[in-house]
Structure 1
């Protein structure tokens, strides 16, 4: 049975402008691989309501899970929750349990739950809260869309709490060999191995080191025996390769 599929929707002008380097995609990809959920697509959209809504709806229809990052804070440009509610056709408003979480947090901190912070308690109808152990403001899951913060430390904590609640499949393993040849020299043999092992992913990733060309060949799959067999075939073609 194939693994569940996923997409990621990264939201924020700061990503598209180059001001902020996104690390959440890298983190999510690794955690999903470990959990047996295949990340198939990543989109980055601006803080534009129509763009967020369109992307969320399209990805939700195409994949088993959609993970979003960004746009759920207290400022005017934090519009993700409203856009996801519209994409799913449900109302949104301040929810008592989310408000209570925030109130308790600001009471502990000696702060005030003002109108701006109360925006973070606006949750679409029918959603399940995602715990935020770092700064309290919850994310949420609505149908198959999981909405989380953009701050990496908070995003990672939310992912850690969310993933155990999702059904995964077989963990995807990978093996790598380093071949000190150019891609053009290994392409034919590499294509043959890929053809002989269609159930595995065989990728070539070239590099240049000290003026010499080389390739890291990466084989990925969930069947360890097939992985080892493919690695044996690669070593037959490239006996000088190093793991």
Structure 2
């Protein structure tokens, strides 16, 4: 019994059909993609919107930079203001101290004091041997009376292990140097410069007042007291 086989043409017909179906499917997919590209919703003026968004970004970045700079300026201005307020507070405190100082000598209830040196301050200059002094002279014992005279200084110092007293002429580098003149009713600040010889170690400074009428008087201050920083009266 023989088995019949289909003709060769019939056996091969499946391949062309498969290829045809694949071709049709590819065409359908391609067509669908093209239709989607054609009919899908597109944002209007996309390029203009991109440019607009970019401009907006740049504007926001500029605004942030401006605000940052403004904050920095505000911080600096606030720091300057705080410094100014501190200076004003210090100035007010100094003025109040001045008023209290003046009231002690001018006020009717102030304690009476004769002629004297209320304060003596020395400050170092660039030259290590040169010192500037400011002496505050006061009196309220003789109200309304004018006190006139001269002020001189001397310094007790250690020189090579020995104590010596440097007189006014030595400190002024002029043996016949006149004293600093003063003339006041209640108080006055007089000032000048002194020069210390090299190598000496000052220990004490003595202020000597020689009034036009009356006996001279002396007041001593330690070098530490005279050179300590402090508010002027």
Normalising to structure 1: TM-score of the pair? 0.18
Normalising to structure 2: TM-score of the pair? 0.18
The structure with the larger Rg is 2
